[in-house]
């Protein structure tokens, strides 16, 4: 029995992947779970693993090729199995000689995934019989029973003939009892999984593939958010619905407004200097201090630590704080989970590690999904103030400027103080001006009294 | 272990139990002088004489009733039906007399009795002589129903049936009599109501009994070549059914096909599926499928007969479907 190796959705948002490197050659024996290749997704470089045992009979993509999710990349089969029909079904890639190594040969143009692969979400590698590979899945065949003469038989009530029916018009996601049980045991949510059974039924192998490909990573993160008691859903009142509708009409899909405040960071700077004197293990950055302050403030303001979910607003009790990290060709927002419960030094260590691995593109999907709120800091680039774009469905984002010396008037006298400006972008559907302002007051209290961050 | 035919295994069981207990006797059409229509009682008349190996007229209802009466007064009759198709004439004695006597006598009359004979279809015996009756008798409280598929099980179960104090319907297979298999030497007993895992595999369960056990083993062989490993659960007894064995297998494989010789509606498979949905609901990854005779009287024409019978090809198709391979 041959196993098709397809481009899998290795991140929640991946639509195509670039094959960076083959780890197995044609003719190599492979086992279920072996790493076949490295694939660059839109977020990171991930491993593509075998989903069957046998010999890697044919590679259909070259290193450097980009292919849409679902594209056939290789075939695993027994050494003497006829795989022509499977390879033949992958017309576009197979047409390009797999051995072509000359730079002059144009890379194969990625084609749409085969129809049978469905949409872009993780199609499992499909196990197919060697003799039937490539044939489209046919309707379940029921041997036509010979019937005695007489009136046509009444429909039998066994329901067997219905198993191949398409999903219900209501869009109810079908799943086998076993699949539901495994999903619940593993904390995988069925919502994002494409079922491979009849009528889109989610079956055991879909759960296992979701776990293996990182679809479950998102689910695990989502699950972390969705644990009972970790949030409160706020039903939308009429005035809230009207505000949401009117403001969205006026100002894009996320009607954003901005609140800017200038904090006195003198004490924070002094504390930071003192900590640095105590030794490297106590050293923290301004960013760490701000993250800690924001996390503690969010714990006091769940109405800001919120998601806009169209029919309701979800206030989270747990603080999963994302921080924007610039990477070579974009940015990514790794998450500090339960940031309010981390000590300043734990934040410092985790933030440094996440930023480093983000730049190396080594983050796992579950490390950059599941945030409840985000901070973005451009202070290190000499930016003293900016506005950040909200990452929906989060209700806000805080943009942190750099700390600089400024003259300020205190009790009628001019003084030189360390100052920093922050700007909060708020989704007005979920957060009103006064709500955001009160949150910033709390952030100010923490930043301006930095000992409260370490006790 | 000696390799013997299913027929000889049955003869061994009869001989051993006739020797062991002189209350045991065999009665039926052609069982004595002719050595049995299918030669299962070969040599027994010579060994045990005409008082214990008794030829009867062609009167199924009559000699079944004589058997019930004999059981009531302390003997242990074995009544042979030339085939179970003929036993339709005697079903009143089996169902209304033998099965209910202990209950209706307030526990005064036990019926330690075996009704036995070939069951199911052979080749081109047409509609009236090609029928599998196990679901009929399994329906009746008071009866036990054995359906051995191998020589070892035929011997071991028949000995258990003869020693049982309840009426046992013992369904053999005409097409099985010449099949061979290993039978343990010496005293060999198979308890009633205990299934056997005839083959182990993780991918899918086939639950079956009787003649279809051989079909299931062939299916398992064929699929093993494709890397698909099948659990073959041989029920061996269809009343009582070994629900735990079914559940153990399905909980392991998460999918099942029930294979039987008889018809679909109210067949044995209906009952097995019911147990599975009750005991294994959260373990199922696919609906349980059934493979059985088509819902028609058995055709005489060879090609139509083949099309109507359950076979390995139909079972493999069902397995591929519950495994979502097609």
Q: Please tell me the distance from the alpha carbon of residue B309 to that of residue B302, in angstroms, as a whole number.
A: 11
Q: Are residues B265 and B223 in the same domain?
A: yes
In this predicted model, what pLDDT tens digit does every residue of A172-204 receive, in sequence order? 678 899 988 888 777 777 777 888 888 888 998
Residues with Cβ within 8 Å of A56's Cβ and at least 6 positions away in sequence, in order, are A24, A25, A26, A27, A28, A29, A30, A36, A50, A74, A75, A76
Q: Are residues B62 and B110 in the same domain?
A: yes
Does residue B13 form part of some domain?
yes
Residues in B closer than 8 angstroms to A157, CB to CB, are: none
pLDDT value, residue A262: 93
Q: Are residues B66 and B158 in the same domain?
A: yes
Could you confirm whether B17 is annotated as catalytic?
A: no
Catalytic residue among B16, B60, B80, B305: B60
Minimum distance, in Å, between the CA of residue B183 and any CA atom of chain A: 36
Q: Please tell me the distance from the alpha carbon of residue A113 to that of residue A125, in angstroms, as a whole number.
A: 13
User: How would DSSP label each residue in B213-225?
Assistant: HHHHHHHHHHHHT
Domain that holds residue A93: 2-133+172-224
Contact state of B285 with A129 under an 8 Å Cβ cutoff: no
Residue A265's Cβ-count burial label (10 Å; 0-12, 13-18, 19+) is buried
* DSSP type of residue B235: -
Domain that holds residue B37: 2-183
Does residue A143 form part of some domain?
no
CATH of the domain at A50: 2.40.50.100
Q: Are residues A205 and A314 in the same domain?
A: no
Q: Are residues A217 and A339 in the same domain?
A: no
Q: Please tell me the distance from the alpha carbon of residue B139 to that of residue A230, in angstroms, as a whole number.
A: 54
pLDDT value, residue A85: 79
A118 touches chain B (CB under 8 A): no
> ipTM, 2 decimals?
0.72
Residues with Cβ within 8 Å of B222's Cβ and at least 6 positions away in sequence, in order, are B312, B316
Find, in chain B, the residue whose alpha carbon is nearest to that of A163: B287
Contact state of A197 with B321 under an 8 Å Cβ cutoff: no
Could you confirm whether B203 is annotated as catalytic?
A: no
Residues in A closer than 8 angstroms to B295, CB to CB, are: 145, 147, 153
Does residue A426 form part of some domain?
yes
Contact state of B296 with A178 under an 8 Å Cβ cutoff: no
Interface A–B counts its CB contacts (< 8 A) at: 64
Q: Calculate mean pLDDT across residues B100-123.
A: 97
Q: Where among B148, B183, B218 does a domain terminate?
A: B183
Greater pLDDT, A112 or B23:
B23
Strand (E) or helix (H) holding B12: helix B6-20
Find, in chain B, the residue whose alpha carbon is nearest to that of A130: B226
Nearest in space to A140 (alpha carbons), one of A161, A123, A109, A121: A161
* DSSP type of residue A108: P
Phi–psi pair at B36, nearest 5 degrees: 95, 140
Greater pLDDT, A276 or B274:
B274
Does residue B189 form part of some domain?
no
Count the domains in chain A.
2
Residue A111 predicted with pLDDT over 50: no
Contact between residue A296 and residue A451 where contact means Cβ atoms under 8 Å apart = no
Contact between residue A127 and residue A52 where contact means Cβ atoms under 8 Å apart = yes
Does residue A178 form part of some domain?
yes
Nearest in space to A108 (alpha carbons), one of A120, A121, A94: A94
Peptide linkage before A329 cis (omega within 30 of 0): no
pLDDT value, residue A210: 77
Residues in B closer than 8 angstroms to A127, CB to CB, are: 325
Q: The pTM is what? A: 0.53
Count the domains in chain B.
2
CATH of the domain at B210: 3.40.50.920
CATH of the domain at A337: 3.30.559.10
Residue A168 predicted with pLDDT over 80: no
Contact state of A148 with B307 under an 8 Å Cβ cutoff: no
Q: Are residues B55 and B177 in the same domain?
A: yes
Contact state of A178 with B284 under an 8 Å Cβ cutoff: yes
Residues in B closer than 8 angstroms to A178, CB to CB, are: 254, 282-285
Q: Please tell me the distance from the alpha carbon of residue B88 to that of residue A255, in angstroms, as a whole number.
A: 82
Q: Are residues B234 and B111 in the same domain?
A: no
Give SS3 for A328: coil
Does residue B190 form part of some domain?
no
Strand partners for B27: B54, B79
Residues in B closer than 8 angstroms to A141, CB to CB, are: 317
In this predicted model, what pLDDT tens digit does every residue of B25-61 receive, in sequence order? 999 999 999 999 999 999 999 999 999 999 999 999 9
Please give the distance of CA A41 from its chain centroid, rounded to a whole number: 12
Q: Please tell me the distance from the alpha carbon of residue B256 to that of residue B241, in angstroms, as a whole number.
A: 16
Residue B135 predicted with pLDDT over 90: yes
* DSSP type of residue A175: B
pLDDT value, residue B237: 98
């Amino acid at each position: 029995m041959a196993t098709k190796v397809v481009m899998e959705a290795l991140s929640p948002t991946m639509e195509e992947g670039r094959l960076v490197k083959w780890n197995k050659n044609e003719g190599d024996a492979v086992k279920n779970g072996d790493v076949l290749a490295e694939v660059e997704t839109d977020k990171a470089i991930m491993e593509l693993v075998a989903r069957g045992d046998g010999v890697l009979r044919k590679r259909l993509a070259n290193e450097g090729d980009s292919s849409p999710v679902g594209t056939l990349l290789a075939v695993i089969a027994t050494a003497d199995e006829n795989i022509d029909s499977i390879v033949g079904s992958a017309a576009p890639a197979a047409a390009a000689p797999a051995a072509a190594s000359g730079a002059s040969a144009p890379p194969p143009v990625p084609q749409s995934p085969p129809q049978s692969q469905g949409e872009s979400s993780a199609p499992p590698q499909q196990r197919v019989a060697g003799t039937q590979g490539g044939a489209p899945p046919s309707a379940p065949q029921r041997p036509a029973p010979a019937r005695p003469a007489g009136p046509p038989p009444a429909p039998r009530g066994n329901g067997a003939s219905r198993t191949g029916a398409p999903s219900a018009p209501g869009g109810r996601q079908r799943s086998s009892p076993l699949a539901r049980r495994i999903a619940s045991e593993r904390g995988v949510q069925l919502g994002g999984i494409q079922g491979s059974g009849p009528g889109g039924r989610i079956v055991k192998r879909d759960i296992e593939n979701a776990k293996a490909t990182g679809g479950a990573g998102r689910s695990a993160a989502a699950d972390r958010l969705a644990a009972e008691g970790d949030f409160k859903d706020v039903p939308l009142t009429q005035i809230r619905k009207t505000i949401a509708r009117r403001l969205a009409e006026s100002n894009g899909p996320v009607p954003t407004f901005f609140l800017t405040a200038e904090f006195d960071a003198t004490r924070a700077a002094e504390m930071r200097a003192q900590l640095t004197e105590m030794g490297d293990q106590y050293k923290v950055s301004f960013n760490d201090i701000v993250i800690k302050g924001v996390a503690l403030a969010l714990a006091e303001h769940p109405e800001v630590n919120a998601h806009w979910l169209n029919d309701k607003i979800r206030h989270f009790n747990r603080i999963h704080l994302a921080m924007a990290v610039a990477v070579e060709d974009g940015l990514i927002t790794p998450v500090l989970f339960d940031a309010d419960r981390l000590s300043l030094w734990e934040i410092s260590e985790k933030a440094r590690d996440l930023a480093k691995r983000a730049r190396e593109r080594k983050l796992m999907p579950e490390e950059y999904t599941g945030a409840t709120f985000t901070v973005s800091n451009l202070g290190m680039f000499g930016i003293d103030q900016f506005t950040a774009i909200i990452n929906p469905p989060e209700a806000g984002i805080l943009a942190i400027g750099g700390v600089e010396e400024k003259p300020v008037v205190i009790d009628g006298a001019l003084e030189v103080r360390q100052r920093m400006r922050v700007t909060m972008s708020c989704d007005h559907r979920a957060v009103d001006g006064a709500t955001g302002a009160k949150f910033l007051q709390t952030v100010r209290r923490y930043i301006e009294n930095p000992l409260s961050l370490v006790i | 272990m000696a390799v013997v035919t299913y027929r000889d295994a049955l003869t061994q069981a009869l001989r051993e139990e006739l020797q062991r207990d002189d209350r045991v006797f065999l009665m039926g059409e052609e069982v004595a002088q002719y050595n049995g229509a299918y030669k299962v009682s070969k040599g027994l008349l010579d060994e045990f004489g005409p008082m214990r190996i008794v030829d009867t007229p062609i009167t199924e209802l009559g000699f079944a009733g004589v058997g019930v009466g004999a059981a009531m007064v302390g003997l242990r009759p074995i009544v042979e039906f030339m085939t179970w198709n003929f036993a339709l004439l005697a079903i009143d004695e089996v169902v209304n007399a033998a099965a209910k006597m202990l209950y209706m006598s307030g526990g005064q009359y036990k019926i330690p009795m075996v009704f036995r004979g070939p069951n199911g279809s052979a080749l081109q015996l047409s509609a009236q002589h090609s029928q599998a009756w196990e679901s009929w008798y399994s329906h009746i409280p008071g009866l036990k129903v054995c359906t051995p598929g191998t020589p070892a099980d035929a011997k071991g179960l028949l000995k258990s049936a003869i020693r049982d104090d309840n009426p046992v319907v013992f369904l053999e297979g005409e097409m099985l009599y010449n099949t061979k298999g290993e039978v343990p030497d010496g005293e060999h007993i198979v308890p009633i109501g205990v299934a056997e895992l005839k083959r182990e595999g993780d991918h899918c369960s086939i639950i079956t009994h009787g003649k279809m056990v051989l079909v299931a083993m062939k299916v398992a062989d064929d699929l093993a070549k494709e890397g698909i490993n099948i659990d073959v659960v041989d029920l061996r007894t269809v009343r009582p059914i070994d629900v735990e064995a079914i559940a153990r297998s399905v909980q392991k494989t998460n999918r099942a096909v029930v294979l039987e010789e008889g018809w679909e509606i109210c067949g044995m498979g209906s009952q097995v599926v019911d147990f599975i949905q009750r005991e294994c609901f959260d373990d199922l990854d696919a609906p349980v499928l059934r493979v059985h005779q088509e819902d028609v009287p058995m055709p005489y024409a060879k090609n139509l007969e083949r099309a109507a019978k359950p076979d390995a090809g139909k079972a493999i198709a069902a397995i591929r479907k519950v495994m979502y391979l097609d």
